[in-house]
Structure 1
Amino acid sequence: MHTDTERCVRAVQSKDSRFDGWFFTAVLTTRIYCRPSCPVVPPKVENMTFYPSAAACQQAGFRACKRCRPDTSPGSPEWNARADSVARAMRLIRDGVVDREGVPGLAARLGYSARQIERQLLAELGAGPLALARAQRAQTARLLIETTGLPMAEVAFAAGFSSIRTFNDTVREVFALAPGELRSRAARSATPPPTPGVIALRLPYRAPLNPTNLFGHLAATAVPGVEEWRDGAYRRTLTLRYGHGIVALTPHPDHIACRLSLTDPRDLTLAISRCRWLLDLDADPVAVDDQLRADPLLAPLVDKAPGRRVPRTVDGAEFAVRAVLGQQVSTAAARTHAARLVTAHGLPVDDPEGGLTHLFPTPGALAALDPEQLALPRSRRTTLTTLVGALADGTLRLGTGTDWEKARAELTALPGFGPWTVEVITMRALGDPDAFLPTDLGIRRAAGQLGLPSTPAALTVRAAAWRPWRAYAVQYLWTVDDHPINHLPA
């Protein structure tokens, strides 16, 4: 979009927050870059230039605006809506793959050479993978500086910098302030400090956001010990790269309040990425709803409660296991089966603020389970153990950078994986916005009540007009039934 100068200028002059994250405005006279909705007086048109990413702005020598903090914009919705290599690369970079595995590791996951990935990202985002990862490190550093009392040396390494000097230079270059100055400014305007050891931050999103199906779904399907709804917040444990964490997510009219407790601060970037992914916070609800509203039978559902998101997961392997446990049983039964696995094979954790007791067991931990101890039909035991084996040995990878069609083929090849299981995993674990569940009982009942075709084949044909947002259509269709997933807990 950044190449459409006229459209970008209109967005900046109207301070349209819908375009935050889509592009960034760099001001040639001040050498500052902003988000489109920056509250300051817009610069003259001839002094504006536009970039597709914060990293591209930084690489061109611009520093972040202290007023609108463009580095905290929601991510571009393109990266979650597309399946090509650039979108997959951006999802992996956001998950910290470059920091952990370098550019060669990123390229290997995508099946390209490092040079090809560099060229593709430069062409579309104006910055290569190292620059994009550097911009993300700067944002992580800023969060740790402003929301914790960690010594600066610990902040530097927790944010992924290789040296304190690089950390200091990057913070000064990006924010035009030294790390100590950033902390002082934050302290002057801070609210009362959070619980020691807890990182409190705001997760931005594009309005509107309807929290009822999003948090209602997560609360209704919560696995005891791993997830809970407490004091108006969805809480859960997180298995992370260097340790584990507990997060509490609370919906507010203009942001999601996020409270993170981490055993290792180096996991902050990954934890934030997983939480944003879980809540689908980088979506463009206006674009989604406008297309779905064009169907006269869906329009009343959209108009009644716009801004529905797709509730996702923090771990693809975990969700795949839970999807198998939920085959052909009620939500309550699925939670019971999952809770038994958690108690038997999950790693215990301490939660002084609530009732969380375990991490969800990893595929490696589940690979050792005795299938005869599972209270499941024999065929489903085979399905579960085969899935766990493929996840544990790495022949099946379910993550944010996974190729959606390849994953569909690999899942379909496993015993006991029908269309419903494959599509629900593709929708909620892999984030395909066009995943569709025409065989789902709730969808078929909704279709019958709305006058849509009720057979899977006919409904799939009708749903072609909803592409590429069929996963969001599913969220609206599920609201036809009065199910707990559609309501925030009392």
Structure 2
Amino acid sequence: MKLDDAICYAAMLSHDTRFDGRFFVGVLSTGVYCRPVCRVKTPKQENCTFHLSAAAAEAQGFRPCLRCRPELAPGNAMIDAQSRLAQAAAGLIEDGLLQDLTLAEMAARLGVTSRHLRRVFVTEFGVSPVAYMQTQRLLLAKRLLTDTRLSVAEVAFAAGFGSVRRLNTTFIERYRMQPTALRKPRAASTLPTTLEFQLAYHPPYAWSAMLAFLAGRAIEGVEQVEADRYHRAVRISHGGKDHLGWLTVQQVVDRDALQVTLAAELAEVVPLVLGRVRRLFDLGAHPDDIARRLGGLAESQPGLRVPGAFDGFEMSVRAILGQQITVKAARTLAGRIVQRFGQAVTSPFPDIQRSFPEPATLAYCSPEQLAELGIIRSRVRAIQALAQALIEQRLVLAPGADVEPQLAVLRALPGIGEWTTQYLAMRALSWPDAFPHTDYGVRKALNETDDRKVLALAEAWRPWRAYAVMHLWRQL
């Protein structure tokens, strides 16, 4: 994509939040790059250059502004096919997965060649995937140094540098400062003992609606919505071991961001945890773009998001359990699975006690063990088939996967019909155009039962049909 200098400069003059994260401004007179919402004195237009990503700005020799902090800019939703592919790759990089995957392996996961992925990525972000990864590592290190008590060594490893020497060298080369310089303005006593981060979003955000949706589906022992906060247990397998801990998410009162608090035990997997939080709370959405497409349907609840999945397997099992029974009954069954098979987690919240079991645990247990929990045999088969598909890597239940092949795999599994397939596309795959046209609530809101007519009515909402579903459900 190309940037229009006049439009970018006008957005910068007005500090337009709609453009935050969509481009970055390099200032020739200072050598610094900023977000368009930065509140420092606005430079003259002839001193400004505009870049598709933070990585593109750094590739031109600019270093990040210490005031607006480019690492805090919100992400962007995936729209057209090329943009969706590039954004999916960027998401994998931001989650720290390029450290475990080669570019060729990442391309294979996304269903394209590495050459095509690189070409699309450069078009979208202005730099190669490898250059983008280097910038993301630096920006994560900058955030950890600024916002946490982690030692420089812990920061180096959490950000993927592998050694303090490599972190120091890269920081000096790119930012012309020592990493420890970021800690001088703040006394150690003022830094939080837990890991605390702010994740920005594009306003508006229907926070109460999001919490109500998650509260109604929270799995006992794993998740809890308390007042205006979301708590959950965390288990992430990475680097050959399980990382267990907890997190809390709440809305920041005076800015367009969510406050995320993590247990210190999750320091080594910060990128992975924050990536999952972004997906769960749909922080990359652009509400204005979506509202323009949905028209009057979206007027009553501005900023309504599509809840994603912190863990695709966990969410999928709960969805299977919920087939043809009440939401409350499905929660009860999911809670029994957690109590029987989940790992213990220590947290400051009495109701957060265990993590959801991994696919292998449920795939290789006996069907009788699941049936004893009150789960009917057909759903036991569906859960175990789904888990086996994940283990064999025939199925990926995370954003970034090529959608159509994943939908085909889901449809071929026993007990997975079209409703479940589309619901998992909405939440586990974060596909904005997913549309469960057979859903009872959707049909009731549209006052239509014929499949073809339901789909025809939804054509006007492409490519945001998943958001239309959330608004239709609210009408019930």
TM-score when scaled to structure 2?
0.93
Q: Which residue of 2 aligns with 1:412?
A: 411
Alignment-mate amino acid for residue 420 of structure 1? W
Alignment-mate amino acid for residue 138 of structure 2? A
Alignment-mate amino acid for residue 475 of structure 2? V
Taking the aligned partners of 1:172 and 1:321, their CA distance within structure 2 comes to 47
1:479 aligned onto 2:474: yes
Q: Which residue of 2 aligns with 1:44?
A: 44
Is contact 1:140-1:159 (8 Å) kept? yes
1:457 aligned onto 2:452: yes
Taking the aligned partners of 1:158 and 1:179, their CA distance within structure 2 comes to 14
Q: CA deviation at 1:312?
A: 0.9
Q: Which residue of 2 aligns with 1:162?
A: 162
Q: Which residue of 2 aligns with 1:74?
A: 74
1:246-257 equivalent positions in 2, closer than 5 A: 246-253=246-253, 254-257=256-259
Q: Say how many residue pairs are matched.
A: 467
Q: CA deviation at 1:27?
A: 1.5
Is contact 2:210-2:307 (8 Å) kept? yes
**C-alpha distance after superposition, 1:362-415 (max 9, x if no partner):** 101111222234223332222222212212222222122211111111111112
Is contact 1:81-1:433 (8 Å) kept? no
Q: Which residue of 2 aligns with 1:328?
A: 324
Q: Which moved more, 1:228-237 or 1:60-69?
A: 228-237
Q: CA deviation at 1:140?
A: 1.8
Q: Which residue of 2 aligns with 1:486?
A: none
Alignment-mate amino acid for residue 402 of structure 2? D
Q: Which residue of 2 aligns with 1:345?
A: 341
Question: Relative to structure 1, is the Cα distance of residues 307 and 360 closer, same or farther in structure 2, using a 3 angstrom cutoff?
Answer: same
Q: CA deviation at 1:466?
A: 0.5
Q: Which residue of 1 aligns with 2:216?
A: 220
Q: Which moved more, 1:247-256 or 1:276-285?
A: 247-256
Is contact 1:2-1:51 (8 Å) kept? no
Taking the aligned partners of 2:294 and 2:48, their CA distance within structure 1 comes to 35
Q: CA deviation at 1:107?
A: 2.9
Percent of residue pairs identical: 40
Q: Which moved more, 1:2-11 or 1:459-468?
A: 2-11
Question: Relative to structure 1, is the Cα distance of residues 269 and 186 closer, same or farther in structure 2, using a 3 angstrom cutoff?
Answer: farther
Q: Which residue of 1 aligns with 2:144?
A: 144
Alignment-mate amino acid for residue 216 of structure 1? A
Is contact 1:433-1:470 (8 Å) kept? yes
Q: Which residue of 2 aligns with 1:444?
A: 443
Q: Which moved more, 1:81-90 or 1:420-429?
A: 81-90
**Structure 1 counterpart of 2:288, from 273, 276, 286:** 286
Alignment-mate amino acid for residue 266 of structure 1? E
Is contact 2:74-2:201 (8 Å) kept? yes
Taking the aligned partners of 1:244 and 1:380, their CA distance within structure 2 comes to 28
Is contact 2:195-2:267 (8 Å) kept? no
Q: Which moved more, 1:422-431 or 1:105-114?
A: 105-114
**Structure 2 counterpart of 1:211, from 192, 207, 220:** 207
**C-alpha distance after superposition, 1:137-191 (max 9, x if no partner):** 1222122212322221221112110332221233345545422221122449x9x
1:370 aligned onto 2:366: yes
Q: Which moved more, 1:465-474 or 1:91-100?
A: 91-100
Q: CA deviation at 1:53?
A: 0.6
Taking the aligned partners of 2:26 and 2:261, their CA distance within structure 1 comes to 32
1:253-332 equivalent positions in 2, closer than 5 A: 253=253, 254-293=256-295, 296=296, 298=297, 302-332=298-328
Question: Relative to structure 1, is the Cα distance of residues 42 and 91 closer, same or farther in structure 2, using a 3 angstrom cutoff?
Answer: same
Unmatched segments (≥5 aa) in structure 1: 482-490
Is contact 2:322-2:330 (8 Å) kept? yes
Secondary structure, aligned partner of 1:257? strand
Alignment-mate amino acid for residue 415 of structure 1? P
Is contact 1:25-1:33 (8 Å) kept? yes
Secondary structure, aligned partner of 1:396? coil
Q: Which moved more, 1:155-164 or 1:117-126?
A: 117-126
Q: Which residue of 2 aligns with 1:16?
A: 16
Taking the aligned partners of 1:425 and 1:278, their CA distance within structure 2 comes to 13
Is contact 2:245-2:346 (8 Å) kept? no
**C-alpha distance after superposition, 1:197-247 (max 9, x if no partner):** x11121111100011221111111000011012353111112223312311
Question: Relative to structure 1, is the Cα distance of residues 25 and 193 closer, same or farther in structure 2, using a 3 angstrom cutoff?
Answer: closer
Question: Relative to structure 1, is the Cα distance of residues 323 and 234 closer, same or farther in structure 2, using a 3 angstrom cutoff?
Answer: same
Is contact 1:26-1:33 (8 Å) kept? yes
Secondary structure, aligned partner of 1:240? strand
Question: Relative to structure 1, is the Cα distance of residues 83 and 71 closer, same or farther in structure 2, using a 3 angstrom cutoff?
Answer: closer
Secondary structure, aligned partner of 1:241? strand
Q: Which moved more, 1:467-476 or 1:109-118?
A: 109-118
Unmatched segments (≥5 aa) in structure 2: none
Is contact 1:235-1:246 (8 Å) kept? yes
Taking the aligned partners of 1:470 and 1:39, their CA distance within structure 2 comes to 36
Q: CA deviation at 1:353?
A: 3.6
Q: Which residue of 1 aligns with 2:30?
A: 30
Q: Which moved more, 1:224-233 or 1:461-470?
A: 224-233
Question: Relative to structure 1, is the Cα distance of residues 80 and 180 closer, same or farther in structure 2, using a 3 angstrom cutoff?
Answer: farther
Q: Which residue of 2 aligns with 1:234?
A: 230
Taking the aligned partners of 1:422 and 1:113, their CA distance within structure 2 comes to 26
Taking the aligned partners of 1:272 and 1:379, their CA distance within structure 2 comes to 35
Taking the aligned partners of 2:171 and 2:228, their CA distance within structure 1 comes to 35
Q: Which residue of 1 aligns with 2:399?
A: 400
Alignment-mate amino acid for residue 42 of structure 1? T
Q: Which moved more, 1:173-182 or 1:257-266?
A: 173-182
Q: Which residue of 1 aligns with 2:386?
A: 387
Q: Which moved more, 1:315-324 or 1:75-84?
A: 75-84
Q: Which residue of 1 aligns with 2:131?
A: 131
Secondary structure, aligned partner of 2:263? strand
Is contact 1:98-1:105 (8 Å) kept? no
Question: Relative to structure 1, is the Cα distance of residues 287 and 378 closer, same or farther in structure 2, using a 3 angstrom cutoff?
Answer: same
Is contact 2:382-2:413 (8 Å) kept? yes
**C-alpha distance after superposition, 1:101-154 (max 9, x if no partner):** 233432332344444433332233121122111121122212221232222122
CA RMSD after TM alignment: 2.1
Question: Relative to structure 1, is the Cα distance of residues 187 and 16 closer, same or farther in structure 2, using a 3 angstrom cutoff?
Answer: farther
Q: Which residue of 2 aligns with 1:424?
A: 423
Taking the aligned partners of 1:130 and 1:458, their CA distance within structure 2 comes to 46
Alignment-mate amino acid for residue 407 of structure 1? Q
Is contact 1:63-1:173 (8 Å) kept? no
Taking the aligned partners of 1:353 and 1:415, their CA distance within structure 2 comes to 37
1:245 aligned onto 2:241: no
Taking the aligned partners of 1:139 and 1:266, their CA distance within structure 2 comes to 16
